[in-house]
Amino acid sequence: MSRRWGKAERLDRLPPYLFVEIDRLKKKLLAEGRDIIDLGIGDPDLATPEEIIEELCTAVQDPENHRYPLDLGLGEFRYAIAEWFQKRFGVELDPDKEILPLIGSKEGIVHFPLAIVNPGDIVLIPEPLYPPYRSGAVFAGAEIYYLSLREENGFRPRLEEIPKNILSRTKILYLNYPNNPTTAVVDRKYLSQVVHMANEYGFCILYDNAYSELCFDNYKAPSILEVEGGRDVAVEFHSFSKTYNMTGWRLGWVCGNRELIAALREVKSNIDSGVFNPIQYAGIKALEIYETYLPRLLRIYLQRRDLFVTGLRKIGWMVNFPKATFYIWAKVPKSNSSTEFCKLLLEKSHIVATPGVGFGPSGEGYVRFALTTREERLQEAVDRIKKLL
Ligand code: PLP
């Protein structure tokens, strides 16, 4: 009997993994014992704050916390999020209806289209992109319409150029600022325009604010829920991953429009059983220490940013100082493609960076560095790049 099962067609709708060759090269060099400086993945090298770890250790001792969590999450956790959100953005959220804990924000980002998209609906996705936006849309059977992010437009999509027949079938617009990978930021005025457009055409906005706290030079990232009408059309994703060096813990939340939150809750209650309670208690602790802890983290990233960007500029690579995120989005300094340049960087300088084209065609010509390593190593990277250029 020939077998009837195999990979589903929807998986073939996801593009092939573009970093295969760079990964292979990296493994080969590591096996040869080369000293690799990895600025590839946006995964902080710093430790989760001690207070958060202690809170987890205490909570995990209580057998009450070993049971299934509630799908809505702990009331205390949602109240702590509401309180933090009010202090940070001046927005009052109903902890029971407008906040839902997530197993990392990626989980909610990918599941959301399942809650509101019907096959054939259009999802607008800016690119270069954080790939899970595409996965979620593909899994839900959506049609994707890509919006190109270009430097001359401040890496913002030109929404006014989207054809009306596309807008009339659009269900979702994904937006992410501070942006990965371009590091672009926006102000409230821009968010107001987007909200206005969502109202006009009847789509909703999934706003990814995963880097909201990693801001420099007196810039503070806004929430889309701050702008008038925001919560009528938008939900916003937040993450503990980058703010508290908790990528492995898998903790985030989504907040905003209550109908959208209720729809996602319905999907999630059929898929997962919530976040382990001790991790939610650790999340409460993280929000409690936010004010004293965050400046320490920002000082570290600011020093890394200044060292790396100043270093590159001194050797003639005119890279911009990003106002947010821990990435550097740099124009490829030679006439190579972004993939060729990253291969060269790895082969000759033993530095891992991500080719812009891996995030979408509009990322071609750029390379992304993640500043997730110590200053000495960043200085060493600059010295090696100097030799290369
Ligand atoms: N959104 C963006 C733009 C990201 O870059 C990331 C992680 O790299 C996430 C969301 C997901 O974060 P997490 O699932 O760890 O909360």
Is 92 a domain residue? yes
Q: Whose CA is nearest to atom 3 of ligand 1?
A: 180
CA of 254 relative to ligand 1 center, distance in Å: 12
Range of the domain at 383: 16-42+294-388
CA of 107 relative to ligand 1 center, distance in Å: 9
Query: Is 212 a pocket residue for ligand 1 (Cβ < 6 Å)?
Result: no
Same domain, 117 and 216: yes
Pocket test for ligand 1, best of 110, 112, 239 (most atoms within 8 A of CB): 239
Give residue-wise pLDDT tens across range 271-314.
Answer: 999 999 999 999 999 999 999 999 999 999 999 999 999 999 99
Which residue type does 151 have? E
Task: Check: CB of residue 229 under 8 Å from CB of residue 238.
Answer: no
Same domain, 234 and 341: no
Of the residues 288, 304, 322, the one at which a domain ends: 288
Is 216 a domain residue? yes
Query: Is 247 a pocket residue for ligand 1 (Cβ < 6 Å)?
Result: yes
- pLDDT for residue 335: 78
If one counts the domains in the chain, the total is 2
Same domain, 166 and 312: no
Query: Is 48 a pocket residue for ligand 1 (Cβ < 6 Å)?
Result: no
Mean pLDDT (whole number) for 218-244: 98
Same domain, 302 and 280: no
Same domain, 197 and 341: no
Same domain, 203 and 130: yes
- pLDDT for residue 336: 85
How do 234-239 and 252-256 pair as beta strands? antiparallel
- pLDDT for residue 20: 77
Same domain, 195 and 280: yes
Pocket test for ligand 1, best of 175, 179, 185, 208 (most atoms within 8 A of CB): 208
Say if residue 330's pLDDT is above 80.
yes
Contacts of residue 334, Cβ cutoff 8 Å, sequence gap at least 6: 341, 344, 389
Is 3 a domain residue? no
Same domain, 209 and 311: no
CATH code for the domain in which residue 22 is found: 3.90.1150.10
CATH code for the domain in which residue 74 is found: 3.40.640.10
**Confidence tier at 16 by pLDDT (50, 70, 90):** confident
Q: How many residues does the chain have?
A: 389
How far from 354 is each of 49, 112, 126, 327, CA to CA, in Å?
28, 27, 18, 11
Same domain, 24 and 97: no
Query: Is 280 a pocket residue for ligand 1 (Cβ < 6 Å)?
Result: no
Backbone angles phi, psi at 75, to 5 degrees: -55, -45
**Confidence tier at 365 by pLDDT (50, 70, 90):** very high
Is 237 a domain residue? yes
Is 10 a domain residue? no
Q: Whole-angstrom Cα distance, residue 295 to residue 264?
A: 34
Is 131 a domain residue? yes
Is 352 a domain residue? yes
How do 327-331 and 366-370 pair as beta strands? antiparallel
Query: Is 208 a pocket residue for ligand 1 (Cβ < 6 Å)?
Result: yes
How far from 202 is each of 160, 170, 195, 232, 346, CA to CA, in Å?
15, 8, 10, 10, 46
Question: Average model confidence (pLDDT) for the chain?
Answer: 96
Of the residues 288, 307, 330, the one at which a domain ends: 288
- pLDDT for residue 369: 98
Same domain, 356 and 341: yes
Query: Is 108 a pocket residue for ligand 1 (Cβ < 6 Å)?
Result: no
Same domain, 86 and 160: yes
**Confidence tier at 161 by pLDDT (50, 70, 90):** very high
Say if residue 1's pLDDT is above 90.
no
Task: Check: CB of residue 388 under 8 Å from CB of residue 347.
Answer: no
**Confidence tier at 124 by pLDDT (50, 70, 90):** very high
Contacts of residue 279, Cβ cutoff 8 Å, sequence gap at least 6: 56, 249, 250, 251
Of the residues 244, 260, 288, the one at which a domain ends: 288
CA of 387 relative to ligand 1 center, distance in Å: 34
Ligand 1 atom closest to residue 43's alpha carbon, by position in its atom list: 8
Same domain, 195 and 140: yes
CA of 138 relative to ligand 1 center, distance in Å: 18
CA of 220 relative to ligand 1 center, distance in Å: 19
64 vs 17: which has the higher pLDDT: 64
Is 143 a domain residue? yes
Pocket test for ligand 1, best of 103, 106, 209 (most atoms within 8 A of CB): 106
Record the tokens describing residue 37, joined without a space: 């400086």
